[in-house]
Chain A
Amino acid sequence: MMSNREAMLEKLAVLDTEYAKALAGGGEKYVARHHQRGKLLARERIELLIDPDSAFLELSPLAGWGSDFTVGASLVTGIGVVEGVECLITANDPTVKGGASNPWTLRKALRSDEIARANRLPVISLVESGGADLPTQKEIFIPGGAMFRNLTRLSAEGIPTIALVFGNSTAGGAYIPGMSDYVVMVDGGAKVFLAGPPLVKMATGEDADDESLGGAAMHARKSGLADYFAVDEQDAIRLGRQIVSRLNWRKAGPAPASAYAEPRYDADELLDIVPGDLKVPFDPRDVIERVVDGSVFDEFKPLYGSSLATGWASVHGYPVGILANARGVLFSEESQKAAQFIQLANRSNTPLIFLHNTTGYMVGQEYEQGGIIKHGAQMINAVANSKVPHVSILMGASYGAGHYGMCGRAFDPRFLFAWPSAKSAVMGPQQLAGVLSIVARAAASAKGMPYDEDGDAKMRAYVEGQIEAESLPTFLSGRLYDDGVIDPRDTRTVLGICLSAIHSAPVEGTSSFGVFRM
């Protein structure tokens, strides 16, 4: 029997292999070719752009996992600090099919727009993309317009947008610089036009070259699309930093406490907490103590609805309310406790952190009759209408309506991360297979037919396998159902970065909720 730590380390090793695929981009050959052209890789550009020794949180790194496209979806997105300003940075990875956008690229880009907008993060786009992946254009073309819409809407909301154009940014892609507040183009690299030489020739018969149609010099001197002319990539990044330094950017949310204590317990022990088998419960307070400032967690209603721990703490100086599943199941008491706690956090303008390990709301006659739906609805009402920022961390199970009540993806948490140990689905694989088996058995018996026990066993094994695979964090992360899978030991750092980003926008609760069914 593997220890909790061994099980977690094994999952982390698997995760590392997947991350390595994202980091490898288009592979050695294309990386070498890109370097030979004197160009920097997407992540090299980002490293140069952000402040020395600052942290960078890459978002959705597994986008496209399980699809036909390269893990990472030919785009790097993340939160980094530029000239002291937290920005949402995106960078096309030109080593992956020339940086072409596939459907997962689009979803990843739209998710990063959402994060920028909700948290009021200035956006810096490091552009070098061959445009849409044509074979999958049907998935991209129509919804893809949102990328351009979002940029100008961000601008309308006073969120600065900056495009540094390193390479191709043609056709639709030309609107990335087109819709940005500030545009820098790299001499000899940037190519920004609606139509390239062949298409122009076809359309009008005109002979034109890349440079006269969309070069940096032309755009800086003639069209005015480029505000800054960069002599090379480094210069473009220098100019990008200079632009940010002149934004006079002020974060709108309250500042964190100037002094706070580190947790008293070692983050390394977070590897020991989650059992390899999620049927075995664990105490989320063990997690909280290793994540929050000074390991101080002031519990609210500790004696009531004890399957859900609620309480106040702070992380990197930012006050937070925490809701953490303690024994998997949510009963009426837990639901009502959560609804009350969420309202309190809205009164005190305190962000909320949801630590998931739930199998869902309790079922059975007693609970249905006791109003579990009503009470669950109260919790979901509170979560859905709460206006303070939410961050969800999937530590273990996140099944059924429990996923909703704990602020699952559909409930727009500002950020949602999963540990490698997490699983999320409508229900557990065995339960789901079992339900299908019971239904099939009942159908056979209604028809008076003998039940195929062998077939049933095969069906159950198949379904279990499929649901298991589809509840794993890499799979869900690949579909952009979270913002990334993180090492449990990084939880405090990730929360710190997210809370700091969150406080770029005002943090205000509400007293306006849906009608609470009593």
Chain B
Amino acid sequence: MISSVLVANRGEIARRVFRTARSLGLSTVAVYSTADAAAPFVDEADAAVHLPGNAPGETYLRAEPIVEAALRAGADAVHPGYGFLSENAAFAQAVLDAGLTWVGPPVDAISSMGSKIESKKLMAAAGVPVLAELTPAEVSAADLPVLVKASAGGGGRGMRVVSRLEDLAGEIEAASAEALSAFGDGTVFCERYLAAGRHIEVQIMADQHGTIWAVGERECSIQRRHQKVVEEAPSPLVERIPAMRPLLFDAARKAAAAINYVGAGTVEFLADESGEFYFLEMNTRLQVEHPVTEETTGLDLVELQFAVAAGDRLPPEPPPTVGHAIEVRLYAEDPQHDWQPQTGVLHRFEVDSSVRVDSGVADGSVVSPYYDAMLAKVIAYGTDRSTVARRLAGVLDRAAIHGVRTNRELLAWVLRHPAFLAGETDTAFFDTHGVGEPADERAVRLAALAAALADAAGRRTGLPSGWRNLASQPQRKSYRVGETTYDVEYRLTRDGLVVDGDIRLLASSPTRVVLEVDGVRRVFEVAAYDGLVCVGPISLTPVPRFVDPATRVAAGSLVAPMPGTVIRVGVAVGEVVKQGQPLLWVEAMKMEHVIAAPADGVVGALHVEAGQQVEVGAVLAVVGEDV
């Protein structure tokens, strides 16, 4: 009998598990790193134990202190969530050895699926279709492109696509290093890369008594950097080729049965447009995208995890799948800039509650560079796929997400994309269709004007704003969006707003500006923070009127794109460099970022050395003109 559960995880999934635990009357225990001390999941737990440090290796990846925390806090069960130690057999064993209940599959099942190389052999033997594995040394030009994958991996980490044979060795090395740092195991393997496949997966739920459910399939083809961003159930491909479904379910059940699986798991397949599919891997844990299955089946998968862990029996058949659910993953990242992860203070996070929001953040949360940059999952459910997609897009549009750049616009753009609505959702979606455009110029100009007018409203005294008896200059304010600076010039006169264009000011307050633009009334919600102003979905950086010369950055300076650690410096002061030549490498957000020379020139200064921690914006090096 479980009475108290420790969730060996953080953020969104910790909160998700706590929610069900509470509804079952279980008390909840969190573990948290130093950076997560103020995170909502820590606050919501009945008890919490600090894991000193920040890097996952010091905290959420350490089995021993987590088991110790469970014992100290009086938990009698451990739920691993997803990621971190969720597929770590040694951790599962340590939990069991401590006399605690492991809310997950048997240790053996984890081990056999833990190695992707081994698991594929196992699956092939069980009659599950698999893609042939390639030995790195034997990869030939005919096999290209190939995918290098971390054997212990997941979530796209340690994964590389290689299309030129000469790159293979280097990429294998890099993937191996990344895998080692992320999962503690540097083993990698190669397989043929299907550039435009469909990612279809089947949710498994199995009890200790031999019942194995295939609860329904999900499609998660829309990915960036091999990480899913849009997931749905049922799969548009399977809906188009209904004959696939029994085959998929059968293969999934076979896979689970082959390893005597118990609990929630997911069997992932890669399918082509004709409905052929191949086993990719089995995730022996709850999946990030499990909510779409919950929405279409009415099940609470976490509740079932607790039930089967306690030895309960599942009914013989799962409930049927009804309607359509779509989940999008809101990431703190910049899709227009190579998906660069974003960090900072999330001043406000508000998503319409008409849809399901599984979030790890709240107003004021800090998005740190240490962990996955997913802020929340937003899930909409309905009877009809396109209605659900449109509704979800609308919710994203209206969401108030202030302080950190996210992929919100991109997600809404995908959901409205004709190809998406037509169910044409292969893994190359972004390669085929791009990543949308940043907000259009005119919308940003209006947002900048609204920001300026809200600012003026906030400064209002009893006197008319910006009053002049002799008007010579307009009020001038500038805002930056990305690399572009938008200058706003306006005057507020007796006769109203004087500004370029057919725009009238109907009302303004510090938080709301109502303009009539070309005869159409438009409302702009404005929220201003230190160094940031959000106008609807558009975030602008107010450009200060004055720059202290002491803080000006010398031309040719290369600044850190995000907080991180310098891992290598490849040049020395005085060295002549070519445009694009890597100068140094910064590791941040578990990714390596290359800082390259912006132009041909000479390294004039190097302000950092390997191992040094750098803040975002810190000047790393200066490249001067060739002399």
Contacts and interface: CB of A to CB of B under 8 A. Distances in A.
Interface of A: 19, 22-23, 41, 43-44, 47-48, 51-58, 61, 231, 234-235, 237-238, 241, 256, 260, 316-317, 484, 486-487, 489-490, 493-494, 496-497
A473 to B, nearest CB: 14
Contact of A48 (B455, B460, B545): B545
B548 A238 contact: yes
Contacts of A51: 459
Nearest to B548: A238
Contacts of A241: 546
Interface of B: 455-456, 459-470, 472-473, 475-477, 492, 494, 545-549
A53 B466 contact: yes
Given A53-B455, A55-B467, A23 B472 contact: yes
A516 B577 CA distance: 92
Contact of A484 (B460, B469, B549): B469
B470 A52 contact: no
Residue from the set A56, A494, A497 with the largest chain B CB neighbour count within 10 Å? A56
Given A52-B456, A53-B459, A53-B460, A19 B470 contact: yes
Contact of B473 (A47, A53, A234, A494): A47
A234 B34 CA distance: 43
Contact of B546 (A23, A44, A238, A494): A238
A332 to B, nearest CB: 38
A238 B547 CA distance: 8
29 contacts: A22-B470, A23-B472, A41-B472, A43-B472, A47-B472, A47-B473, A47-B476, A52-B545, A53-B465, A53-B475, A53-B492, A54-B459, A54-B461, A55-B463, A55-B465, A55-B466, A56-B467, A58-B469, A61-B469, A234-B545, A238-B547, A260-B462, A316-B462, A484-B469, A486-B469, A489-B494, A490-B467, A493-B463, A493-B467
Residue from the set A55, A231, A490 with the largest chain B CB neighbour count within 10 Å? A55
Given A489-B494, A496-B463, A497-B463, A234 B546 contact: yes
A487 B463 CA distance: 15
Contact of B456 (A41, A53, A56, A487): A53
A56 B468 contact: yes
A241 to B, nearest CB: 8
Nearest to B544: A238
B470 A58 contact: yes
Contact of A52 (B463, B469, B477): B477
A147 to B, nearest CB: 23
Contacts of A260: 462
A237 to B, nearest CB: 7
Contacts of B494: 489
B549 A231 contact: yes
A62 to B, nearest CB: 10
Contacts of B465: 53, 55
B533 to A, nearest CB: 13
Contacts of A43: 472-473
A58 B470 CA distance: 7
B462 A54 contact: no
A494 B469 contact: yes
B388 to A, nearest CB: 45
Nearest to B458: A53
A241 B544 CA distance: 13
A317 B492 CA distance: 23
A170 B527 CA distance: 49
Residue from the set B460, B462, B465, B546 with the largest chain A CB neighbour count within 10 Å? B462
Contacts of A234: 545-547
B470 A61 contact: yes
A457 B477 CA distance: 61
B486 to A, nearest CB: 16
